[in-house]
Amino acid sequence: YLEASKVFKGHEDRMGYAQARENVALLRVGLTGADPTEELKLALETYRAIGNRDHELKTLYNLYCFYTSTRNPSAGDTLRDIMSLVSEHRNLDQETRARVLFGILPVELPDRNDLMVLRERLLDLKTFYKGRHEQANVARCLRQLARVEQVLRNTPSVRSYALELKRHVGQLPRAERMTVHSDLGFWLFRPEDPEEGLGHFWEAYDLAEGLPPPQQRSVLIVLTVVLPQAGDSLDRALHRGKARRALESAADPATRALLR
């Protein structure tokens, strides 16, 4: 990419040069942890100058991800820029828009108008992916829609999207499926009828087998908080049995302690 950037610069190809430098910055942050913001901002200026909105959106999202991972307060401003671009331009590349909209957290959007825009664009994407029979991306749309409704405090809509998501969750990769089952556990848990939600937490635990121990422990920590909320509605024998069976195969000491 460094060699390519020299060629592009020599031919005064601004677009090619910006893309090459952006790729250099992203590789450096991945390999060495080097701060990519200067290169990303230069690329962003170029994309804006030549009016390439798709690349502008990609680069804003790359900045947002870096800022979020480093807890940089600029993440909020970058997220606002992303939502402004998504709101103003409906003809953005669908795959680019999907990658961005699936990656942001609705809870980080303080403006209700941004949440409404996000909801509308996600519904568009859901229709798009349903038409292409891409069930994994339909599932990602449904998950984000449930998160939006959760922030908006529309509990019936959260449950409705969660129930629809259940039908598609099996199409997702294992690690992603685990986190979705954990979300479904929260969205479908009701103290008066707890088993539906609790079953998803145990499913998440099973899917975490073979992943780093902290991922299994995170599910168990949630279960230790949620189980008592079920009160007399809880099938204690059922969950005691699940914990015992899990204990038989658990090797990590902290995980075993939580299961006990």
Evaluate whether 219 touches 204 at the Cβ level (below 8 Å): yes
Write the pLDDT tens digit of every residue in 22-42: 999 999 998 998 999 999 999
Per-residue pLDDT at 130 exceeds 90: yes
pLDDT at 181: 97
Q: CB neighbours (10 Å) of residue 198? A: 22
> Is residue 132 one of the residues assigned to a domain?
no
Residue range(s) defining the domain that contains residue 66: 1-91
Is the separation of the CB atoms in 18 and 1 below 8 Å? no
In a domain, 177, yes or no: no
Instruction: Compute the average pLDDT of residues 115-138.
Output: 96
Where is the domain boundary, 58, 91, 124?
A: 91
> Over the range 88-112, which residues count as b (16 or more CB within 10 Å of their CB) and which as e?
eeeebeeebbbebbeebebeebeee
Which of 73, 91, 109 delimits the end of a domain? Answer: 91
Comparing CA positions, the residue from 94, 96, 87, 20 lying closest to residue 56 is 96
Encoding tokens for residue 181? 């089952």
State the pLDDT at residue 237. Answer: 94
| Confidence band of 209 (pLDDT split at 50, 70, 90) | confident
Q: Does 178 reside within a domain?
A: no
- What total of structural domains would you count in the chain? 2
pTM: 0.89
- Residue 231: the pLDDT is 87
Beta-carbon count within 10 A of 189 CB: 20
- What pLDDT was estimated at residue 61? 97
Tell whether the model's pLDDT for residue 211 goes beyond 90. no
Tell me what pLDDT residue 18 has.
93
- Exposure letters 245-257 (e unless 16+ CB within 10 A, then b): ebeeebeeeebee
Report whether pLDDT(75) > 90: yes
